[in-house]
Amino acid sequence: MGFAVEADADSGSWLCTAPSWRFDIGREADLLEEIARIHGYDNIPVEPVRGAPSAGAAAETATPQSVIKQRLVARGFNEAITFSFMSPELQQLIDPEIEPVALKNPISSDLAVMRTSLIPGLLGAAAHNLNRQQPRVRLFETGLRFMPGQALSQTPMLALLLCGRRMPEGWSSSAESVDFFDMKGEIEVLLQAADQTLTFRPAVRPGLHDGQTAEILLGEDVIGIMGRIHPRTASQMNLPEQTLVAELTLASAVSRVLPDYQDISKFPEVRRDIALLVSRDIPSAAVVDCARSAAGPSLADARIFDVYEGDGVAENEKSLAIGLTFRDQSRTLTDEEISESLAQVIESLGEKLGARLRH
């Protein structure tokens, strides 16, 4: 067979070195296959399998990757599979601050570096589909990104892309284009199905539009980025300006929180709406978070249902309408208790965010 064999008498093991012409030998199983082939498969005794095979139990704290893909397909996405290599110019559109790992012997100049993000590949796939008269493109991809360093870092990622029409063409649907909040909603639907609580924080990233880019946070951890591509990037790749992308770690996408059961309250809930004037620079999420922390345990829900900017409101301000729902699990809340909680919310919003009631 041409192998060099060194035997270790103490451990009883063999160190076998394959000859240079045997490119098909790379592991122990390949060597065992060669021995079985020469010895003869018919000469190997047949023995029944002993023991009952046991299937591994699926971890309840993780959602199978196949389920994540099924959810995305159900939302109208198509899976894309792009190269792990890309052109340096395309990589620089999204990650100009990162020096990618270059291939020593690339197939072509268009596939000369390892990708540092899955987004450029999806942008190319979107342009390919739009050039073939596809009015609505919704793509996702799972794969590795390769980050340079002392040791090459390979991280499994999930990337999403939206562009074109918001709804499929039809007599009852409009031709409106997707926007930032469509992508935000898709991420929320995907991860909240696993009982995960997400927050979004304004961010700046090269290749994405200033003012329409946000970090995706799970607790205090940044797990990804989302936003609208920069008009310059859209122009260079012949894409609509309203092209939305997102990328997050696959580990965060498949992680799942075990739900806690809570009894449904038998007591009525009470809603109070307030209209506030706040600075345009203050994120709406900060207003909701402040209201939640100030209202106390009786607050069941807080959400913004209207935003207004225009006549009657200062140029540097915006008007937010917030709906606050109060409920107790054990009794009916009194008007005095609700009014006290509401006063605490208004006071806290004024002290921390400079908000004031709009009359």
- Cα–Cα distance, 233 to 214 (Å, whole number): 18
Q: Are strands 208-218 and 198-202 parallel, antiparallel or unpaired?
A: antiparallel
166 closest CA partner among 244, 228, 230? 244
- 88-133 pLDDT, tens digit per residue, is 888 888 888 888 888 888 888 888 999 999 999 999 999 999 999 9
Instruction: Sort residue 213 into left (φ over 0), alpha (ψ -120 to 50) or beta.
Output: beta
DSSP E strands, 94-135: 113-114
- 276-320 pLDDT, tens digit per residue, is 999 998 888 889 999 999 998 899 999 999 999 988 888 899 999
* pTM attached to this predicted model: 0.75
Provide the 3-class DSSP secondary structure of residue 30: helix
Mean predicted confidence (pLDDT) in 207-219: 90
137 closest CA partner among 253, 67, 204, 229? 229
- Cα–Cα distance, 211 to 261 (Å, whole number): 39
- What Å distances lie between residue 26 and 4, 16, 21, 38, CA to CA? 14, 11, 12, 18
The predicted pLDDT at position 58 comes to: 67
- 189-203 pLDDT, tens digit per residue, is 988 766 677 888 889
Domains and CATH numbers, the chain: 4-43 (no CATH), 65-254 (3.30.930.10), 270-357 (3.30.70.380)
